[in-house]
Amino acid sequence: QQQVKQSPQSLIVQKGGISIINCAYENTAFDYFPWYQQFPGKGPALLIAIRPDVSEKKEGRFTISFNKSAKQFSLHIMDSQPGDSATYFCAARESTDNNDMRFGAGTRLTVKP
C-alpha cells in the first residue's frame, strides 16, 4: 500500500491561477518532505522540501504548507505559468533511512495560457 497518498491525479489551471496539490502520509517517523518536478522525458528534480519543525516554506512562487497533526502537506504554485506544466511528486523519508524515499503517485499539472 502506498505510504504517501497524493491528489489530484491531474490538474488544469489557467495562467495566473493558483495550483494546489495535496499529500497525506501515514508513517509518523517521516521527517523530510520534498516535492519533485518532472518534465516529459526527464528525471525528477527537487523543487522544494520541508522538515516538520516548520509549518510553511516558501521559495519564489512555490510554497509548501505542512500540517503535522493531520499528517498532510501541500504544494501551492502561485501565479501559475505554462512553463510550470509538468508532473509533480510529493515524497517522504525518515532521516535515519536516507535511501528509503516514499513517493506519491504524481499529479500532472497543465497550465493553460
Partner 1 sequence: NAGVTQTPKFQVLKTGQSMTLQCAQDMNHEYMSWYRQDPGMGLRLIHYSVGAGITDQGEVPNGYNVSRSTTEDFPLRLLSAAPSQTSVYFCASSDPGQGINEQFFGPGTRLTVL
User: Does position 9 bind partner 1 by CB under 8 A?
Assistant: yes
User: Does position 98 bind partner 1 by CB under 8 A?
Assistant: yes
Q: Which is nearer to partner 1, 38 or 65 (CB)?
A: 38
User: Does position 80 bind partner 1 by CB under 8 A?
Assistant: no
Footprint of partner 1 on 44-73 (CB under 8 A): 44-46, 49
Torsions phi, psi for 59 (to 5 deg): -140, 100
| Smallest gap from residue 41 Cβ to partner 1 (A) | 7
Q: Where are the beta strands (DSSP E) in 39-112?
A: 45-50, 56-59, 62-67, 72-77, 86-92, 102-103, 107-112
When binding is defined by CB under 8 A, the residue of 13, 85, 92, 104 that contacts partner 1 is 104
| Smallest gap from residue 112 Cβ to partner 1 (A) | 23
User: What dihedral do alpha carbons 10, 14, 17, 23 form, nearest 10°?
Assistant: 0
- 82: three-class secondary structure by DSSP: helix
